[in-house]
Amino acid sequence: MSEQPRLRSVSCFRAEGFRRMVYWEWGNPHNKNVIFCVHGLTRNGRDFDWLARALCDRYRVICPDVVGRGRSDWLDDPMGYTYAHYLADMATLIARSGAEQVDWIGTSMGGLLGMMLAASDESPIRRLVLNDIGAFIPQSALERLMEYVGKDPTFPNQDEAEKYLRKVHAPFGALTDEQWRHLVQNGMRIREDGLLSPAYDPAIAVPLNAIPLQDVVLWPVWDAVACPVLVLRGADSDLLLPETVGEMRHRGPGCEVEEFEGVGHAPALMDAEQILTIDMWLLDQDAKEE
């Protein structure tokens, strides 16, 4: 774990003014082969350190902290924490990268953003990896997520913070002690009172709580995607159901699917098998284009 990413940022325009979005960049900064790795709802770009390190010999890997998370700015108006705004921010970051096309790996929320971008006219998304997310999300899974999203628990030290993360993110699977410590070090912030708290704005939950929770149906979006897609699924996932994956195989762009045992929502993409699965799929896509 000797190599470290470069910390960079881009200014994203919002109604309240420009807000700074941090991103972590790996690999040759002049490499035209660019891959975006975009995290889940309460996570941050450092989740992808293991994956980015494996890919950065061939790619320039860009891992943003979506606004309101990690080291990026928080918003004054929480109603800016919506997919429409995140998509605009991602378009800004793609433009910053200078790449005409990018590959996209998205976990949960990051996967939804990738799917929406890939479904857009003249999309710059060349290839898409969806990590435990798809065209249908059951209400029951959203209710589970909302049990902790938007809360602002505090911890006196890293050991207590790690106990919390191990509980709420148990579906990530069997991570090593080093990986759990990494998630704590990059997934917690130090408050003014010296206590630790999750490194995201609790107000990200405000737009979610403004509407009744219900099943999320995105089949029209999926049907509009035209690029090659790999879907990763935790075998115990309650968010990406087997029947959803089955239908995704046979409509829209279709997809290849890999499932990981002993994992729920979502595979952490720190495991060697998960990383190799992505790496080999990308290499296979490269071979098909030659």
93 within 8 A of 38, measured Cβ to Cβ: no
Kindly list the domain boundaries of the chain, sorted by start residue. 6-138+216-289
89-144 pLDDT tens trace = 999 999 999 999 999 999 999 999 999 999 999 999 999 999 999 999 999 999 99
Beta strands in the chain (DSSP E): 6-14, 17-26, 34-38, 60-64, 102-107, 125-131, 136-137, 188-190, 196-198, 216-217, 229-234, 256-260
Q: Which uninterrupted H or E stretch holds 117?
A: helix 109-118
141 within 8 A of 265, measured Cβ to Cβ: yes
Split at pLDDT 50, 70, 90, the class of 148 is confident
For residue 146, pLDDT beyond 60: yes
**Which amino acid is residue 131, in one-letter code?**
N
51 within 8 A of 105, measured Cβ to Cβ: yes
Question: For the chain, what percent of residues have pLDDT higher than 90?
Answer: 94
pLDDT at 247: 98
Report the chain's mean pLDDT, rounded to a whole number.
Answer: 96
For residue 2, pLDDT beyond 90: no
| Residue 80 per-residue DSSP state | G
25-61 pLDDT tens trace = 999 999 999 999 999 999 999 999 999 999 999 999 9
* Weakest-pLDDT range from 147-151, 259-263, 264-268, 284-288: 147-151
pTM of the model: 0.97
Query: How far apart are alpha carbons 111 and 66 in whole angstroms?
Result: 13
155-202 pLDDT tens trace = 999 999 999 999 999 999 999 999 999 999 999 999 999 999 999 999
For residue 223, pLDDT beyond 70: yes
The alpha carbon torsion through 249, 82, 142, 74 (nearest 10 deg) reads: 130
pLDDT at 1: 45
The CATH fold of domain 6-138+216-289: Rossmann fold (3.40.50)
Average pLDDT value for residue range 5-27: 97
Give the Å distances, CA to CA, from 219 to 115, 127, 135, 216: 11, 19, 5, 9
Query: How far apart are alpha carbons 18 and 5 in whole angstroms?
Result: 24
